[in-house]
Structure 1
Amino acid sequence: MVGEALTGLRDNVFLVSKVYPWNAGGQKAINACEASLRRLNTDYLDLYLLHWSGSFAFEETVAAMEKLIAQGKIRRWGVF
């Protein structure tokens, strides 16, 4: 629904999504982001938030976020 509403407006919207703690590690974070991109019908997120309190090593999650930036799938990431 949101993806449909954004059709033709993507350049005018700051799009944010989040990854839950149980998906925060490595490839799981990447897969969760890619699923969000598909649902939102976009190529990138302006901000990808990590809902942190998970059991994954923080370094593993940081590496996944940096990979997503390098791939152009997210512009920035943060923790809440």
Structure 2
Amino acid sequence: MYADGGAEKVVGEALTDLRDNVFLVSKVYPWNAGGQKAINACEASLRRLNTDYLDLYLLHWSGSFAFEETVAAMEN
């Protein structure tokens, strides 16, 4: 959404050697909020942010996906 992931890349570069000192948050957008799309979106964010975990992953809103499908993806 923000510069086609460019904002996450900039943040990832800025956090080099600082990751343990920050609380990192990202979010999934409604067009990716269900099933494997949500998992793929999270993995792409992790790659761009150059980290292997997020402290908090937010749901922007569930869009057209069933809420249960989104919750199941987030639990993965």
Scaled to the shorter chain, the TM-score interval is 0.7 to 0.9
The superposition leaves residues 27-70 of structure 1 with CA deviations (integer Å, 9 ceiling, x where unpaired) of 0000000010011000000011101140101111101111xxxx
Confirm or deny: 8 A CA contact 2:62 2:70 kept in the other structure. Answer: no
Question: Percent same amino acid at aligned positions?
Answer: 97
Q: Please report the TM-score for the alignment, with normalisation by the length of structure 1.
A: 0.79
The superposition leaves residues 1-45 of structure 1 with CA deviations (integer Å, 9 ceiling, x where unpaired) of 211111111110000001100100010000000010011000000
Q: Please report the TM-score for the alignment, with normalisation by the length of structure 2.
A: 0.83
Provide the rounded CA distance (Å) in 2 between the counterparts of 1:13 and 1:28. 27
**Higher fraction of helix:** 2
Output the aligned Cα RMSD. Answer: 0.8
Pick which of 10-19 and 51-60 moved more: 51-60
Which residue in 2 is equivalent to 1:49? 58
* 1:61 alignment partner, one of 30, 51, 70: 70
Helix, strand or coil at the partner of 1:42: coil
User: Structure 1: which 4+ aligned runs deviate by more than 2 Å?
Assistant: none
Give the number of the structure with larger relative contact order, counting CA–CA contacts within 8 Å between residues 6 or more apart. 2
Confirm or deny: 8 A CA contact 2:26 2:54 kept in the other structure. Answer: yes
**Higher fraction of strand:** 1
Helix, strand or coil at the partner of 1:59: helix
Uncovered stretches (5+) of structure 2, i.e. residues with no partner: 1-9
